């Protein structure tokens, strides 16, 4: 009984040893640097903007983030009803259910989905406002996080950490703000978004990268910390080997991949400048942020006597992540009739079975272009998820091992206590059965909990597009109808039409379409 008491006491000590890990902040300087030309142009633009700041504020249709993002009523979430509503295109019901979930740790994740559903509903002004509000919340949550808080929350379960949005989701939130503004020809709003981008967004992204590095370092430090080492010693004192060496072998290597910047946002920024007749900024922005020249050559150099129309298409939904689901490992504990189990979990990329592989864009003058999405696209957002998963896998696996040690040390104490009771009752047939039942009742839920609760964090915004693509047309000035055919294997999946698109000589017009199938 003395040994049992020791295990219980040690478990309490272990649970109280979660500490913040001091780390050195580093800033990822991988984002493209501003050229001298860009810096001068932006300084000049900033001076002009200060003179007209009040006028600009009154013109912008996007209001501060205090506004409510959706008028949808809160509805109790029911997965079956939600799936049915989504398949039927009843996005208002879906938004209401997402608003009604009330899970604070998942709030931003749910809001990202609600924002995209608002966009799918063709409420582009509402979507633009909603994405701005969600982005501001992402920044707030990130600024309040520290390594100690994240590690402590993750010690019980990864999803206990408040979701703050991945880096690519920050870019996508801004991209969808731009897409929303361009969809309704709100060029002044798009221009305002670009001013904010130059003024604040890149600084915030750099700060986010430094914060993420701090959190990653904290996860690694946890395995070298006193609490982890003490947990191992406690287990070893009872001749218990959890196979920590084998578990460490399952930890993925550190990823050197980086989501340096979003090609889609860089493209949209170039188009937004051009649509505002600011071709100098458009050219310099495209050069600085490495926009494919084939995509924007005629956007920044409209042929003489022509106007230019960019038809932007967003197709499918982004690939997903899932639990690594590594095999359960049985650990035999001396004096226990049954083994306990460990499991190391971290996120891996799952992907999606995408249902659109090409897009045909036709204008009412008879001209058309077909885009092969396997080769021609602005950005494949599945790649962004893969990079994010690779970056998060290693620290998640390290925290998983930490949890295994802490959970098993506490669980073993309970099982040994139950087994001691079983042994003492073995001489009496009447009490032995009751003791056996008591042991089984203690064993089954403990072992099940270790496996069931050991899950990777697979949260993400699920309705962002899979791919963004564009068909550009330099045409005679006039008014056009645009037909977009979304196809798979040559078969049309869905057709959408945008009427009354005006193209003026020497200027850039934009039409945006999406198909979330």
Q: Per the structure block, which two tokens stand in for 405?
A: 């040690």
31: three-class secondary structure by DSSP: coil
pLDDT at 237: 66
With beta carbons less than 8 A apart as the criterion, state whether 125 and 188 touch.
no
Say which DSSP state 398 is in: H
Strand partners, 467: 315, 380
Residue 370: phi and psi, rounded to 5, are: -115, 130
Distance CA 354, CA 377 (A): 14
pLDDT at 419: 75
Cα separations (Å) of 351 from 92, 213, 318, 380, 485? 27, 26, 8, 12, 24
The 10s digit of each residue's pLDDT in 372-388 is 999 999 999 999 999 99
Strand partners, 497: 483
With beta carbons less than 8 A apart as the criterion, state whether 38 and 194 touch.
no
371: three-class secondary structure by DSSP: strand
User: Which residue, among 449, 418, 399, has the nearest Cα to 155 in the 3D structure?
Assistant: 399
pLDDT at 239: 65
pLDDT at 37: 46
What pTM does this model have? 0.81
The CA-based angle 317-321-324, given to 5 degrees, is 160
Distance CA 37, CA 287 (A): 10
Cα separations (Å) of 431 from 189, 420, 438? 77, 13, 11
Strand partners, 503: 478
Write out the chain's pLDDT in tens, 517 residues.
444 334 334 443 343 433 333 333 333 334 444 444 444 444 444 444 444 443 333 333 333 333 344 456 788 899 999 999 999 999 999 999 999 888 899 999 999 999 999 999 999 999 999 999 999 999 999 988 888 788 778 878 899 999 999 999 999 999 999 999 999 999 999 999 999 888 788 888 888 888 888 877 777 776 666 767 776 776 676 566 667 777 778 788 989 888 988 999 999 999 999 999 999 999 999 999 999 999 999 999 999 999 999 999 999 999 999 999 876 677 777 767 777 777 889 999 998 789 999 999 999 999 999 999 999 999 999 999 999 999 999 888 888 887 877 777 767 777 777 777 777 776 677 777 777 777 777 777 777 777 777 889 999 999 999 999 999 999 999 999 999 999 999 999 999 999 999 999 999 999 999 999 8
Q: Per the structure block, which two tokens stand in for 171?
A: 């870019």
Burial class (CB in 10 A: 0-12, 13-18, 19+), 352: middle
Burial class (CB in 10 A: 0-12, 13-18, 19+), 130: buried
pLDDT at 401: 82
User: Which residue, among 102, 111, 32, 507, has the nearest Cα to 306 in the 3D structure?
Assistant: 507
pLDDT at 306: 97
Distance CA 279, CA 271 (A): 9
User: Which residue, among 412, 416, 403, 421, has the nearest Cα to 447 in the 3D structure?
Assistant: 412
**Counting runs of H as helices and runs of E as strands, what totals does the chain give?**
18, 12
């Amino acid at each position: 009984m003395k040994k049992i008491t020791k295990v219980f006491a040690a478990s309490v000590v272990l649970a109280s040893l979660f500490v913040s890990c001091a780390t050195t902040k580093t800033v990822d300087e991988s984002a493209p640097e501003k050229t001298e030309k860009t810096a001068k142009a932006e300084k000049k633009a900033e001076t002009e903007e200060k003179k007209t700041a009040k006028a600009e504020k009154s013109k912008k249709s996007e209001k501060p983030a205090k506004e409510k993002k959706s008028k949808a009523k809160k509805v109790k979430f029911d997965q079956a009803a939600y799936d049915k509503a989504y398949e039927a295109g009843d996005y208002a019901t879906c938004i209401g259910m997402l608003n009604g979930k009330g899970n604070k740790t998942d709030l931003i994740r749910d809001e990202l989905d609600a924002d995209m559903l608002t966009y799918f509903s063709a409420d582009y002004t509402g979507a633009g406002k909603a994405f701005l509000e969600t982005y501001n919340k992402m920044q707030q949550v990130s600024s309040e996080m520290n390594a100690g808080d994240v590690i402590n929350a993750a010690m019980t379960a990864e999803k206990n950490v408040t979701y703050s949005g991945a880096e690519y989701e920050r870019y996508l939130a801004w991209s969808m703000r731009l897409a929303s503004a361009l969809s309704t020809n709100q060029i002044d709003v798009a221009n305002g978004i670009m001013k904010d981008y130059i003024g604040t967004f890149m600084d915030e992204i750099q700060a986010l990268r430094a914060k993420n590095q701090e959190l990653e370092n904290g996860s690694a430090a946890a395995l070298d910390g006193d609490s982890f080492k003490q947990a191992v010693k406690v287990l070893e004192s009872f001749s218990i080997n959890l196979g920590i060496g084998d578990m460490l072998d399952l930890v993925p290597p550190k990823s050197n991949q980086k989501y340096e910047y979003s090609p889609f946002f860089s493209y949209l920024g170039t188009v937004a400048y051009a649509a505002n007749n600011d071709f100098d900024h458009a050219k310099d922005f495209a050069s600085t942020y490495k926009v494919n020249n084939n995509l924007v050559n005629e956007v920044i150099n409209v042929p003489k006597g022509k106007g230019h129309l960019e038809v932007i298409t967003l197709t499918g939904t982004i690939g997903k992540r899932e639990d690594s689901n590594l095999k359960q490992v049985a650990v035999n504990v001396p004096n226990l009739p049954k083994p306990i189990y460990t499991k190391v979990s971290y996120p891996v990329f799952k992907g999606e079975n995408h249902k659109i592989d090409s897009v045909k864009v036709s204008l009412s003058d008879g001209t058309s272009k077909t885009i092969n999405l396997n080769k021609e696209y602005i950005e494949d957002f599945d790649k962004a998820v893969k990079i994010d998963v690779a970056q998060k896998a290693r620290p998640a696996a390290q925290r998983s091992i930490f949890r295994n040690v802490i959970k098993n040390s506490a669980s073993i104490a309970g099982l040994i206590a139950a087994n001691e009771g079983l042994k003492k009752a073995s001489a009496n047939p009447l009490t032995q059965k009751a003791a056996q039942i008591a042991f089984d009742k203690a064993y089954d839920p403990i072992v099940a909990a270790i496996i069931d609760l050991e899950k990777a964090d697979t949260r993400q915004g699920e309705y962002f597009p899979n791919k963004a693509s564009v068909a550009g047309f330099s045409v005679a000035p006039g008014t056009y109808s645009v037909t977009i055919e979304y196809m798979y294997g040559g078969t049309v999946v869905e057709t959408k039409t945008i009427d009354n698109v005006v193209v003026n000589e020497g200027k850039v017009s934009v039409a945006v379409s999406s198909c979330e199938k």
